[in-house]
Amino acid sequence: MSREKETLAGSDLEESEELLGRLGIDRRHSRRLLYWVYRRGIRSFDEINDIPQKFLRILSEYAVPGLSSPTASEVSSDGSVKYLFTSKNGMAHETVFLPDDKRRTVCVSVQSGCRMGCRFCATGKSGWNGNLTAGEIVNQVISIPHEITHIVMMGMGEPGDNIDEVIRACRILTAEWGLAAGRRRVTVSTVGVTPSVRRLLDETECNITLSLHSPFPEERLEVIPAEARWPFAGTLDMLKQYDNRIKRRFTVAYVMIEGRNDSQRHLEELRRLLAGTGIRVNLLPYHSVDEEDERSSGISVMMQFKHELVTSGIGASVRKSRGADIAAACGMLAARSRRGARKQ
């Protein structure tokens, strides 16, 4: 019975050195090995040309790079591209590439499905299939054919519900032996699992985005059930007390739904809640995920919200709707893939 080979994607420098040491290979090759995995995206050790072949033959007997290509993709008329990946355990997960002038963002998944059950999220409606490994998270950045400037963990799944692998992925993405992405270019988006946010503050230097969607706890609970266990107020207090000397960016994501959270009352409470915190607000259009009759606030309402926030000293931006023609909301392509698999 042959044993399963170790996967290098997802390994850090210390683990790579330990593996080479066990195999009798000079540990000094570890940085070059990880360079070929993380920067060059190799699928085979045969592609490496600056490590002795005798070492690579030994390594090939016990390990694989562990990277994989997308299994499907859809291209939007606005240039956005959605990719479908399948983990070695058969779990479908999505990645979205979002080009916008000089900014080229990749939105990656951290789970297949999600357990948070947020009302407006297609992923939550499809159930939860499992956590992705750090290697599978990083693979989404490496294995799409685009030059990337920014990375957001804002795809399928809740980062706070898979925090060990998310923190490991953040380290790989930002470390000089990894992808060497600037820490200001990596953002983790969460509903605010308070203990996990604490770990992100203590163990990474990545930006953090918190899903809010209503400044009133009872209304937020209607769309984000996690409010019951991890109230936004508690997470906000933690951010207020944080010594942000590294100048990481904190942002609140606010999906605007007509007649639900776009009134003057909501605006005034949002201003009161965030005044003096330095936390920015990202206003997003609502995308229907089924036949619900709710719809997005109009652009004029969103721009007025932005204006009122900015004049109050709160940084704010309005995100453009992207990928509507390919159902770019997280979870939709994976859901179709699962339905297709069941029919076969």
Residues 124-166 have pLDDT tens digits of: 777 889 999 999 999 999 999 999 999 999 999 999 999 999 9
Percent of the chain scoring above 70 in pLDDT:
91
Give dist(CA 132, CA 179) in Å, integer: 19
pLDDT for residue 323 is more than 80: no
The active-site residue, picked from 94, 136, 158, 165, is: 94
Mean pLDDT lowest among 164-173, 236-245, 260-269, 314-323: 314-323
Residues 235 and 277: beta-carbon distance below 8 Å: no
Residues 166 and 159: beta-carbon distance below 8 Å: yes
Question: Domain limits at 254?
Answer: 72-343
Mean pLDDT of 323-336: 57
Asked if 74 is an active-site residue, the reply is no
Same domain, 24 and 129: no
Same domain, 36 and 166: no
Same domain, 34 and 180: no
pLDDT for residue 107 is more than 80: yes
What's the pLDDT band for 293 if we cut at 50, 70, 90? Answer: low
pLDDT for residue 292 is more than 70: no
Strands (E), 266-339: 280-285, 316-318
Distances (CA, A) of 286 to 171, 231, 255: 32, 23, 6
Q: Is 188 helix (H, G, I), strand (E, B) or coil?
A: strand
Same domain, 128 and 191: yes
Same domain, 143 and 279: yes
Residue 343 pLDDT: 47
Of 87, 186, 183, residue with least CA distance to 135: 87
Mean pLDDT lowest among 148-152, 226-230, 294-298: 294-298
Asked whether residue 16 is assigned to any structural domain, the reply reads: yes
Residue 326 pLDDT: 58
Question: What are the two backbone dihedrals, phi and then psi, of residue 32, each rounded to the nearest 5 degrees?
Answer: -65, -40
Given 64, 81, 97, the domain boundary residue is 64
Percent of the chain scoring above 90 in pLDDT:
82
Residue 3 pLDDT: 76
CATH number of the domain within which 116 lies = 3.20.20.70
Asked whether residue 48 is assigned to any structural domain, the reply reads: yes
Same domain, 48 and 125: no
pTM > 0.85: yes
Residue 16 pLDDT: 98
- Give all strands of the β-sheet with 316-318 in edge-to-edge order: 72-75, 81-86, 92-100, 103-107, 150-153, 186-190, 207-211, 250-256, 280-285, 316-318
Same domain, 50 and 158: no
Same domain, 56 and 122: no
pLDDT for residue 334 is more than 90: no
The active-site residue, picked from 107, 114, 118, 330, is: 330
Asked if 219 is an active-site residue, the reply is no
CATH number of the domain within which 45 lies = 1.10.150.530
Same domain, 44 and 124: no
Residue 102 pLDDT: 87
Mean pLDDT of the chain: 92
Mean pLDDT lowest among 75-79, 81-85, 274-278, 288-292: 288-292
Tally of domains within the chain: 2
Q: How would you label 13-33 residue by residue, b for 16+ Cβ within 10 Å and e otherwise?
A: beebbebbeeeebeeebbeeb
- Name the one residue in this structure whose structure tokens are 């948070």: 116
Same domain, 32 and 101: no
Asked whether residue 1 is assigned to any structural domain, the reply reads: no
What's the pLDDT band for 327 if we cut at 50, 70, 90? Answer: low
